[in-house]
């Protein structure tokens, strides 16, 4: 059984029905995002309460609302010591609303916290640009069965960040305020507990400041308060996203199994293009598998890391497939169907993926046991991050430039071959080959469209996550109404892979060989069940260079 691929033998009527059905499904993915899905993320804002702790943290007790000796006006408070360790900033998450105590749900998937430092202008305590600020942070959690103030420690750390602030000339007077950038504080890969408590101290070592003014907390100016902004994934979006993935997983799995059986029954070894489609389908099945359901009942702090690795795997296989898909229709018989001929092309993808993998493993990996860690918080970590992003960006640009070049060459080859050869043959044969060409053009256009939206979705997601860590955390891309874009792109990627699995599977019809469409002069395709193999499909045979 191998009379070419399904795309070559499927009737126009059946092909139209399939495409129309998939188009309706694609529209449905967008409409579900528009009608039913809330925005991907939401935020809560907390004005951190400043409390006085006479033990200066030596007791190890948690400072919470019921034990807080609140400092009404921080700028007027006179500490009893120079290190300011008796001042504690607290925030209980989530806060109460209308007298009702809210709680976090596992449906929120992740929790991210950014800190707004409020600095007043002062002639005595001057802020110096690029000042280092060091925070002693403790995060505790409480479960439903625990008593009201029975907090257990989740993580503790000394956090060092760079404080960047600006002030207008007219505000350079007592009472004027600086405009400071947001600081990354924490990121939790799962929302495992209903309540959290954050205690922050900003100690100052006066002796160290005398010897070296650039030491942490020596040049941060006059603090007037802290504001914590917590961001989480909306539970409604998580529910819709999980049900979408749950629905698609068995469909993709069934199509993948059907495709595997088709190529496994061939009398020859699978072609490189067939194997590439198989691996692409497998990576999509891994991406679609809704492992997030487990996080609703079990604590999975590594969920963000796993999600990033699955997405990275899919993108790596998808980008590799696009090169092979275009390249298999250009190279001659001496190099076709050989992965080694793509070593140079695939090196861009491998280097870019490897650089981003290193960055992700450092960032997400360390956050598994220290949620306050940020790769950007240290000079060495920042250099690693910049190098990784720079290398991946250069390789990505080179890759897409090369991919565009190959797609243009494929298009040009089709045009030249058709004008040079197609109309020199019989009418019946010309119509058959024209059908193959139009179907291939449809797949190529769909590939370009899918590539564009996939790349756009990837960069918009990265941009949205950067906004969550920056000054646009409250009104960023991911906290806006963008659910339809993500559900639509998710549906398009699935539909694209399903089309490839269906259209490039070996056909169940038995022909003398798909190459007959061009290489033979017969007007009819002759059935011959005894011939069970073909070396290439009609499109690749048509596009291969002439050996005459």
**In-domain check, residue 170:** yes
Whole-number pLDDT of residue 513? 39
pLDDT grade for 531, boundaries at 50, 70 and 90 = very low
Digit-coded pLDDT (tens) for 307-363:
889 988 998 898 888 888 877 765 444 556 677 777 777 887 888 888 888 888 888
* Same domain, yes or no: 141 and 152: yes
Lowest mean pLDDT, pick from 9-23, 52-66, 386-400, 471-485: 471-485
Nearest to 237 by CA among 42, 4, 528: 42
Q: Are residues 301 and 210 in the same domain?
A: no
Q: Judge if 273 and 421 occupy the same domain.
A: yes
Q: Higher model confidence: residue 451 or residue 132?
A: 132
**442 vs 500 pLDDT, higher one:** 500
Lowest-confidence pick of 41-55, 58-72, 301-315, 438-452 = 438-452
Q: Is residue 477 very low, low, confident or very high in pLDDT (cuts 50, 70, 90)?
A: very low
Of 242, 189, 232, give the one whose Cα is nearest residue 103: 232
Give pLDDT tens digits for 355-372.
888 888 888 888 888 899
- If asked whether residues 17 and 135 sit together in one domain, one would say no
> Residue 249 pLDDT more than 90?
yes
Provide the pLDDT for residue 508: 59
E-assigned strands of 202-311?
222-233
- Does any domain span residue 177? yes
Q: What is the sign of the dihedral through the CA atoms of 97, 102, 107 and 112?
A: positive
Is 60 exceeded by the pLDDT of residue 475? no
**Residue 142 confidence (pLDDT):** 92
Whether residues 157 and 228 fall in one domain: yes
| Residues 151 and 54 reside in one and the same domain | yes
The structure tokens listed for 101 are 């105590």
Least confident of 9-18, 144-153, 221-230: 9-18
In a domain, 1, yes or no: no
pLDDT at 427 over 70: no
Q: Is residue 184 part of a domain?
A: yes
Whole-angstrom CA distances from 537 to 66, 321, 502, 514 are 75, 17, 15, 6
Query: Torsions phi, psi of 340, nearest 5?
Result: -65, -25
> What SS3 string covers 450-506?
HHHHHHHHHHHHHHHHHHHCCCCCCCCCCCCCCHHHHHHHHHHHHHHHHHHHHHCCE
Q: Is 14 found in the same domain as 161?
A: no
Please give the pLDDT value at position 248: 92
Range with lowest mean pLDDT among 261-275, 334-348, 464-478: 464-478
- CA nearest neighbour of 407 among 346, 451, 438: 451
Query: Are residues 204 and 65 part of one domain?
Result: yes
Among 320-324, 437-441, 492-496, whose mean pLDDT is lowest? Answer: 437-441
Domain final residue, candidates 233, 268, 300:
233
Model pTM score? 0.78
Structural domain ending residue among the three candidates 176, 208, 233: 233
Residue with tokens 């691929």: 5
Whether residue 355 sits in one domain with residue 228: no
Name 176's Cβ contacts closer than 8 Å, sequence gap at least 6.
120, 121, 167, 170
Q: CA–CA separation, 376 vs 387, rounded Å?
A: 12
Residue 80 lies in a domain: yes
> Are 171 and 222 found together in one domain?
yes
Domain match, 514 and 456 both: yes
Q: List the domain range (segments joined by +) for residue 49.
A: 41-233
- Looking at the DSSP bridge assignments, the partners of residue 87 are 52
pLDDT of 330 reads: 57
**Average of per-residue pLDDT values in the chain:** 78
> What CATH number corresponds to the domain at position 351?
1.20.1070
Share of the chain above pLDDT 70, in %: 76
Best CA proximity match to 405, nearest among 315, 507, 293, 330 = 330
Q: Give residue 410's pLDDT.
A: 73
Residue 209 has pLDDT above 90, yes or no: no
Answer with the one of 233, 266, 299 that is the final residue of a domain: 233
Check residue 522 and give its pLDDT: 37
Residues 129, 79 within the same domain = yes
Contact between residue 516 and residue 433 where contact means Cβ atoms under 8 Å apart:
no
State residue 514's pLDDT score. 39
User: Considering the domain boundaries, does residue 548 fall inside one?
Assistant: no
Residue 545 in this model has a pLDDT that exceeds 60: no
Q: Give domain status of residue 263, yes or no.
A: yes
Domain count across the chain: 2
What is the percent of the chain with per-residue pLDDT over 90, rounded to a whole number?
16
Most confident of 58-72, 366-380, 514-528: 58-72
Average confidence (pLDDT) over 484-508: 82
Within-domain flag for 140 = yes
């Amino acid at each position: 059984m191998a009379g070419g691929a399904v795309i070559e033998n499927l009737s126009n009527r059946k092909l139209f029905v399939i495409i129309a059905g998939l188009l309706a499904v694609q529209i449905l993915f967008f409409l579900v995002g528009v009608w039913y899905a809330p925005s991907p993320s939401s935020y809560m804002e907390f004005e951190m309460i400043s409390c006085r702790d006479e033990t200066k943290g030596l007791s190890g007790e948690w400072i919470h609302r019921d034990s807080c000796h609140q400092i009404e006006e921080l700028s007027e408070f006179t500490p009893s010591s120079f290190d300011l360790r008796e001042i504690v900033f607290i925030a209980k998450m989530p806060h109460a609303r209308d007298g009702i105590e809210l709680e976090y749900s596992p449906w929120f998937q992740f929790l991210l916290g950014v800190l707004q430092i409020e600095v007043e202008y002062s002639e005595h305590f001057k802020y110096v640009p690029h000042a280092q600020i060091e925070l002693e942070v403790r995060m505790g959690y409480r479960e439903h069965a625990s008593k009201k103030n029975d907090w257990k420690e989740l993580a503790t750390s000394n956090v060092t960040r760079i404080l960047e602030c600006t002030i207008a000339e007219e505000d350079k007077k007592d009472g004027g305020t600086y405009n400071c950038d947001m600081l990354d504080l924490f990121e939790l890969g799962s929302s495992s507990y209903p309540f959290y408590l954050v205690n922050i101290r900003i100690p100052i070592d006066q002796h160290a400041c005398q010897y070296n003014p650039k030491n942490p907390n020596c040049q941060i100016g006059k603090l007037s308060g802290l504001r914590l902004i917590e961001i989480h994934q909306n539970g409604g979006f998580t529910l819709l996203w999980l049900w979408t993935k749950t629905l698609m997983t068995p469909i993709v799995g069934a199509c993948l199994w059907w495709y595997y059986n088709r190529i496994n029954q061939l009398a020859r070894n699978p072609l490189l293009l067939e194997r590439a489609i198989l691996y692409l389908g497998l990576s999509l099945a891994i991406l679609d598998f809704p492992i997030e359901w487990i996080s609703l009942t079990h604590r999975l702090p590594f969920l963000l890391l796993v999600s990033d690795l699955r997405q990275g795997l899919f993108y790596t296989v998808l980008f590799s497939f696009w090169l092979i898909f275009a390249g298999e229709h250009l190279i001659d018989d001496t190099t076709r169907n050989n992965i080694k001929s793509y070593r140079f092309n695939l090196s861009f993808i491998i280097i870019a993926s490897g650089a981003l993998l290193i960055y992700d493993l450092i960032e997400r990996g360390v956050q598994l046991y220290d949620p306050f860690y940020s790769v950007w918080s240290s000079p060495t970590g920042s250099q690693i991050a910049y190098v990784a992003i720079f290398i991946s960006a250069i390789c990505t640009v080179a890759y897409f430039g090369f991919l565009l070049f190959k797609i243009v060459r494929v298009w040009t080859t089709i045009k030249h071959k058709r004008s040079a050869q197609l109309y020199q043959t019989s009418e019946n044969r010309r119509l058959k080959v024209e059908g193959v060409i139009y179907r291939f053009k449809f797949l190529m256009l769909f590939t370009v469209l899918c590539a564009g939206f996939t790349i756009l979705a990837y960069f918009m997601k990265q941009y949205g996550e950067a906004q969550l860590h920056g000054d646009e955390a409250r009104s960023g891309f991911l906290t806006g109404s963008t659910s339809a874009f993500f559900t639509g792109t998710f549906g398009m990627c699935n539909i694209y892979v399903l089309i490839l699995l269906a259209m490039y599977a070996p056909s169940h019809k038995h022909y003398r060989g798909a190459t007959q469409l061009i290489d033979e002069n017969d007007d009819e395709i002759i059935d011959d069940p005894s011939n069970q193999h073909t070396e290439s499909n009609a499109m690749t045979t048509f596009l291969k260079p002439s050996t005459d």
